[in-house]
Homo-oligomer: A and B are copies of this chain.
Amino acid sequence: MPAPAYEALEARFRRLALLGDASGLLAWDRATIMPKGGADVRTEQLTELGLIRHELITDRALADLLDEAEDGSDTLDAWQRANLSAMRRSWRHANAVPAALYEASTRAGLACEMAWREARPANDFAGLRPLLEEVVRLTRETADAKGDAFDCAPYDALLDQFEPGLRMAEIDPVFEDLAAFLPDFVEDVLAHQASEPAVLPLTGPFPIEQQARLADTMMHTVGFPSDHGRLDVSHHPFSGGTPDDLRITTRYDEADFTSSLMAVLHETGHALYEHNLPARWRHQPVGDALGMAVHESQSLLIEMQVCRSRPFIAYAAPVMRAAFDHDGADAAWQPENLQRHYTRVSRGLIRVDADEVTYPAHVILRYRLERRLISGDLKVSELPAAWAAEMKDLVGIVPPDDRDGCLQDIHWMDGAFGYFPTYTLGAIMAAQLYEAAKRADTNIEPSIGRGDFKPLYAWLNENVHNLGSSLTASEMLSRATGHELDVGAFKSHLKARYLN
């Protein structure tokens, strides 16, 4: 029987999680359906809920309970011990930072983000600079404090916020490998693509109502549980809500249904990870998803590995045609052509518009720059020039202005340094996991070709979802695939898809 201290901690972390749920719903509502005039009071509500959570996790009594529970941890089973250690990690992140610094950072992030919404369209880096400098300054202070608490480098401590245990030492070899591989590979892919038949345009308009019906059909094909979630519209697609009340979003463009649909499938991947987390551990840290890299691996596995694959598109093509009443004989709507739409590669300036092949270059660029910003090796004022240099090196093109350069992303404005790498780590893990899944059950890929995701999810549930946070990402990967993080499967996947 677990010690009373541990039981008391479960009660406290359950409260934290339920408050987190409430904040999550308020944020979802703000991003989807809230009337404009509700923004100010919503900020007050969210700030107060955040403050209450901060008070709960920095409460002296909670620290004492953690000490006591750790002393008596030999009475705990493996999940409870993992839960206790996830609690400690969460405690460390919150308690490493003095309240005044936490508040100043939040405020600086909000101010910079607000200003950025105007500065980006106005291409006004100079105007934004002082605000971003303040964000960087306070983030460096935070990183120093957390580095001390976790006994690691400051930037490593920022990475740990988004993916527990992730360190530069794990990222560097993988990103160096990719940075060396990609420039030539992109050349090869573009040459190969040029030798292929031209992509036939899909002619719209595609009425939003029909798109929404198709999205609904397809997300349910993947396995989205209709009783436990909704699809709505927001400015940027995201996945919110809770494991039993999944709130995913997309946005529609009447001229093009393909990217909206793929966003829905991407978010469905996120949502199903949440939905399949261990029910016994709801509202406990060990029952949570692993970090953002693993989360992204689940969305990219569905989007990139599966839904842009030949077998799935062969299955989906007639469904898409039917959704828009298109003719089965129309060449543009044949699987071959749809697959070309969904695997088109080009060098672009904008990360969120990038394809699967060039995307890692955008991420590596940001990783390189944000490390240097945090170490103090790069000044905010030097960012535009450094951005251009890295773009030239990694993507092969240079942005004509900051709007489509270093002003394009919200992350840094908000103080979210250490987040970017998780996108590409997620892509690498997705390839690694899908390769292992297909090896473990040879029925998975043929089933996908029939629109049957059950065998895939049986494997994912057992090897990823049901584990919650009871293992680290590395342990989970080793157990599921036989290797720790390994870029091999990702590169093989890219070669197979883009050079064949």
Binding site for B on A (CB under 8 A): 14-15, 18-19, 21-22, 25-26, 29, 33-38, 40-42, 44-45, 48-49, 52, 225-230, 241-246, 282-283
Can you sample 13 A-B contacts with CB below 8 Å?
A: A14-B48, A18-B49, A29-B29, A34-B245, A35-B226, A35-B227, A35-B229, A35-B245, A37-B225, A38-B242, A38-B245, A41-B243, A41-B244
CB distance from A171 to the nearest CB of B (A): 35
**Further contacts, 16 of them, CB under 8 A, given A22-B49, A41-B282:** A14-B48, A18-B48, A19-B49, A21-B45, A22-B22, A22-B45, A25-B25, A25-B29, A37-B225, A37-B227, A37-B228, A37-B229, A37-B244, A41-B243, A41-B244, A44-B283
> Contacts A26-B25, A40-B244, A41-B244 known; A230 to B18 CB distance under 8 Å?
no
Determine the chain B residues whose CB is within 8 A of the CB of A282 once the complex forms.
41
Nearest 3 A/B pairs, CB to CB: A38-B245, A37-B228, A37-B227
The reply to whether B37 and A21 contact each other, CB–CB distance below 8 Å, is no
Give Cα distance in the complex from A18 to B19, angstroms.
Answer: 12
What residue of chain B has the Cβ atom nearest to residue A28's Cβ? Answer: B29
CB distance from A173 to the nearest CB of B (A): 41
CB distance from A232 to the nearest CB of B (A): 9
Kindly report how many copies of this chain are found in the complex they form together: 2
Picked from B34, B52, B246, the residue with its CB within 8 Å of the CB of A52 is B52
What residue of chain B has the Cβ atom nearest to residue A226's Cβ? Answer: B35
Give Cα distance in the complex from A486 to B283, angstroms.
Answer: 53
Q: Among the interface residues A14, A41, A49, which one has the most CB atoms of the partner chain B within 10 A?
A: A41
> Contacts A228-B38, A242-B38 known; A19 to B48 CB distance under 8 Å?
yes
Q: Among the interface residues A33, A48, A226, A229, which one has the most CB atoms of the partner chain B within 10 A?
A: A48
Q: Among the interface residues A14, A35, A242, A283, which one has the most CB atoms of the partner chain B within 10 A?
A: A35
Q: Among the interface residues A36, A37, A42, A52, which one has the most CB atoms of the partner chain B within 10 A?
A: A37
Give Cα distance in the complex from A45 to B52, angstroms.
Answer: 15
Determine the chain B residues whose CB is within 8 A of the CB of A21 once the complex forms.
41, 45
Determine the chain B residues whose CB is within 8 A of the CB of A22 once the complex forms.
22, 26, 45, 49
Give Cα distance in the complex from A394 to B270, angstroms.
Answer: 59
Determine the chain B residues whose CB is within 8 A of the CB of A35 once the complex forms.
226-230, 245-246
CB distance from A26 to the nearest CB of B (A): 6
What residue of chain B has the Cβ atom nearest to residue A29's Cβ? Answer: B25
Give Cα distance in the complex from A283 to B45, angstroms.
Answer: 11
The reply to whether A244 and B38 contact each other, CB–CB distance below 8 Å, is yes
Picked from B19, B29, B52, the residue with its CB within 8 Å of the CB of A15 is B52
Q: Among the interface residues A14, A15, A44, A246, which one has the most CB atoms of the partner chain B within 10 A?
A: A44
Give Cα distance in the complex from A44 to B36, angstroms.
Answer: 29
The reply to whether A15 and B228 contact each other, CB–CB distance below 8 Å, is no
Give Cα distance in the complex from A229 to B37, angstroms.
Answer: 8
CB distance from A372 to the nearest CB of B (A): 40
Determine the chain B residues whose CB is within 8 A of the CB of A25 once the complex forms.
25-26, 29, 45
